[in-house]
């Protein structure tokens, strides 16, 4: 089943069950200044959950574009390392605003997966929140799953990948216990059941999270009940596509294979399994959609998240031997793959190309020189990269720290981040001492400030509702 068909079937299933089909909101949340980028389907409904905003429907369904490259849910460091994480992905979701709750949310999910998408029930594993007997009983008694296939899991705070069955959008805001559905990709893949120390592997892949929104967390960390219990679910389109296309990695699905082939073409790479191609394919999606939604690369805030993603992609291109702009050329392939589902991408394609090319030209000159500095600082056998060099790369060559860290990780070298902070502090103190005129000049030197073109303009033009 192709990605496009998966999207349609999902929306159709919930529309038949009385859900309003709501368009994806932009990647920059319009209703929440504390949140940099939309990380899930519920973000556009946050105020509805809180009871602040009313909508003409109590059930909704959407395919939401999401970015997880900063903030509470940050998967930038996972891209290229796991089979299931992207910076940009599409989240299929259904929502109930004080309408149905746990029982129907679970029934719908099970029916859709096993009847419509025809997943074999014996491949599915379930987790529920430790104390949530109600959800546990629905899975075991209503759906009829064997008890050993329903696993109770707690908060698991601090664990990097570990399952956490209490979902929060961010440090504050709507939250609640959740129940998750995992797919077993088979014993030949390393990894253990959720809730076990081996779960970090990619054998059992989480495909769908059903969140039972019941609380609002305030800045002091206190939970108060929402005006009405709600449902918020999220399923990664790419993960479901991997299951339905009988591949293990998200990067092997139709949509990604097209982009990987395009990245190989533009970088002259013959080995289609090269990890750098996956990173580039991931990053073109994130970069392009962020630009579609009104962002341009810059030196702080949203713009810096975008710049970091672009520069990482360019570094991977460099690793593949590419010294001329190539990244912007992937936009047309992306449009071929996703333009039908996202007309706004098609409409802004030439602007996206222009902005990417500009950033490539800007960074290209210094990437080459920066890499030389780095290679000189890392003769073979080096165990630690000193903070001073990392700072020079950042300050003079525009290498965001996470880019340098990524290179170190590939080579199993420790990066002295404390040393980096010391160098950064020294620089700031010097700037303060030099006074504000010099400071202004420095800011200028670091490049343009983030500009947010804004989606109000796009809205005015009728491009987004």
Nearest approach, Cβ of residue 194 and Mg ion (Å)? 8
Distance between CA atoms of residues 400 and 309, nearest Å: 10
DSSP label of 452: B
Contact criterion met (CB below 8 Å) for 167 and 176:
yes
In a 3-state reduction of DSSP, which class is residue 352?
A: helix
> Which residues of the chain form contacts with ligand ATP (CB under 6 A)?
40, 68, 73, 75, 84-86, 89, 91, 161, 206-209, 234-236, 238-239
Compute the least distance from the CB of residue 410 to Mg ion, in Å.
22
Instruction: Choose the one of Mg ion, ligand ATP, none that binds residue 239, judging by a C-beta under 5 to 8 angstroms depending on kind.
Output: ligand ATP
Return the number of the residue (70 or 398) whose C-beta is nearest ligand ATP: 70
How far is the C-alpha of 168 from the C-alpha of 193, rounded, in Å? 22
Number of residues that this document lists for the chain: 465
* Among Mg ion, ligand ATP, none, residue 84 binds (CB under 5-8 Å by kind): ligand ATP
DSSP letter at 276 equals: H
What span, in angstroms and rounded, lies between the C-alpha atoms of 437 and 317? Answer: 38
CB of 31 to Mg ion, least distance (A): 23
Least distance in angstroms from the C-beta of 164 to Mg ion: 6
Q: From the CB of 334, what's the least distance to ligand ATP, in Å?
A: 17
25 makes contact, choosing from Mg ion, ligand ATP, none, with CB < 5 to 8 Å by partner type, with none
Which of ligand ATP, Mg ion, none does residue 183 bind to, with CB < 5 to 8 Å depending on kind? none
Closest alpha carbon to 42 in 73, 12, 69, 13: 73
27, 293 Cβ separation under 8 angstroms: yes
What residue number has its CB nearest to Mg ion?
209
Q: Please report how close the Cβ of residue 193 comes to ligand ATP at its closest, in angstroms.
A: 13
The residue (of 85 and 311) whose beta carbon lies closer to ligand ATP is 85
Query: Which residue, 46 or 318, has its beta carbon nearer to ligand ATP?
Result: 46
In the bound state, the residue with its beta carbon closest to ligand ATP is: 236
Residue of 310, 188, 185, 192 whose CA lies nearest to 246: 185
74: β partners: 69
CB of 186 to ligand ATP, least distance (A): 18
Whether the CB-CB separation of 42 and 73 falls below 8 Å is answered with: no
The distance of closest approach from Cβ of residue 176 to ligand ATP in the complex, given in angstroms and rounded to an integer, is 12
When the beta carbons of 25 and 209 are compared against ligand ATP, the nearer one is 209
Nearer to ligand ATP by Cβ, of 101 and 161: the residue is 161
Task: Report the residue number, 209 or 348, with the smaller CB distance to ligand ATP.
Answer: 209
> Which is nearer to ligand ATP, 285 or 329 (by Cβ)?
285
- Choose the contact partner of 229 out of ligand ATP, Mg ion, none; CB within 5 to 8 A by kind: none
**Residue 207 interaction partner, one of Mg ion, ligand ATP, none, beta carbon < 5-8 Å per kind:** ligand ATP
117 φ, ψ (degrees, to nearest 5): -85, -10
Q: In 3-state terms, what secondary structure has residue 87?
A: coil
What's the distance, Cα to Cα, between the start and end of the chain in Å? Answer: 29
Alpha carbon of 456 to those of 222, 403, 433, 462, 463: distances in Å? Answer: 34, 32, 40, 10, 10
Q: Binds 68, which of Mg ion, ligand ATP, none (CB < 5 to 8 A, cut-off by type)?
A: ligand ATP
CB of residue 429 to ligand ATP, shortest distance in Å? 38
Contact status, residue 231 vs residue 240, Cβ threshold 8 Å:
no
Q: Which residues make up the interface to Mg ion (CB under 5 A)?
A: 163, 206, 209
139 CB-near residues (< 8 Å, 6+ apart)? 106, 126, 128, 145, 150, 179
Compare residues 150 and 292 and give the one whose CB is closer to Mg ion: 150
Q: Closer to ligand ATP at the Cβ: 267 or 287?
A: 287
CA–CA dist 399, 408 (Å, integer): 13
């Amino acid at each position: 089943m192709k990605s496009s068909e998966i999207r349609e079937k999902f929306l159709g299933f919930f529309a038949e069950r009385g859900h309003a089909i709501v368009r994806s909101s932009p990647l920059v949340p319009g209703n929440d200044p504390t949140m940099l980028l939309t990380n899930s389907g519920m973000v556009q409904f946050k105020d509805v959950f809180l009871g602040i905003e009313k909508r003409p429907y109590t059930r909704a369904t959407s395919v939401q574009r999401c970015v997880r490259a900063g903030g509470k849910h940050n998967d930038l460091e996972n891209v290229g390392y796991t089979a299931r994480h992207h910076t940009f992905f599409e989240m299929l979701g259904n929502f109930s605003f004080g309408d149905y709750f746990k029982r129907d949310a679970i029934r719908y999910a099970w029916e859709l997966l096993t009847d419509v998408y025809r997943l074999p029930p014996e491949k599915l594993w379930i987790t529920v929140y430790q104390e949530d007997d109600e959800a546990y009983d629905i899975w075991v008694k209503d759906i009829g799953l064997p008890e050993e296939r329903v696993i109770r899991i707690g908060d698991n705070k601090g664990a990097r990948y570990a399952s956490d069955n209490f979902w929060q959008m961010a440090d504050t805001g709507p939250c609640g216990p959740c129940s998750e559905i995992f797919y077993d990709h088979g014993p030949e893949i390393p990894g253990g059941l959720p809730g076990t120390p081996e779960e970090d592997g990619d054998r059992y892949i989480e495909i769908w999270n059903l969140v039972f929104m019941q609380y609002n967390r305030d800045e002091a960390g206190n939970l108060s009940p929402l005006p009405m219990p709600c449902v918020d679910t999220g399923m990664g389109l790419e993960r479901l596509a991997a299951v339905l296309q009988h591949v293990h990695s998200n990067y092997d699905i139709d949509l990604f294979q097209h982009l990987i082939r395009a990245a190989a073409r533009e970088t002259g790479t013959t080995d289609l399994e090269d990890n750098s191609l996956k990173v580039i394919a991931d990053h073109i999606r994130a970069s392009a959609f962020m630009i579609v939604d009104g962002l341009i690369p810059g030196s702080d805030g949203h713009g810096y998240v975008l710049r970091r993603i672009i520069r990482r992609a360019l570094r991977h291109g460099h690793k593949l031997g590419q010294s001329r702009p190539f990244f912007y050329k992937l936009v047309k392939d992306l449009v071929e793959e996703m333009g039908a589902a996202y007309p706004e991408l098609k409409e802004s394609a030439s602007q996206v190309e222009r902005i990417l090319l500009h950033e490539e030209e800007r960074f290209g000159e210094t990437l080459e020189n920066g890499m030389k500095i780095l290679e000189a600082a890392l003769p073979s056998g080096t165990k630690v990269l000193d903070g001073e060099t990392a700072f020079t790369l950042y300050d003079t060559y525009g290498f965001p720290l996470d880019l340098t860290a990524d290179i170190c990780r590939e080579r199993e070298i420790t990066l002295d981040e404390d040393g980096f902070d010391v160098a950064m502090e020294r620089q700031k103190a010097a700037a303060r001492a030099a006074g504000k005129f010099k400071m202004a000049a420095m800011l200028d030197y670091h490049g343009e400030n983030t500009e947010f073109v804004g989606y109000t303009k796009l809205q005015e033009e009728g491009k987004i509702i």
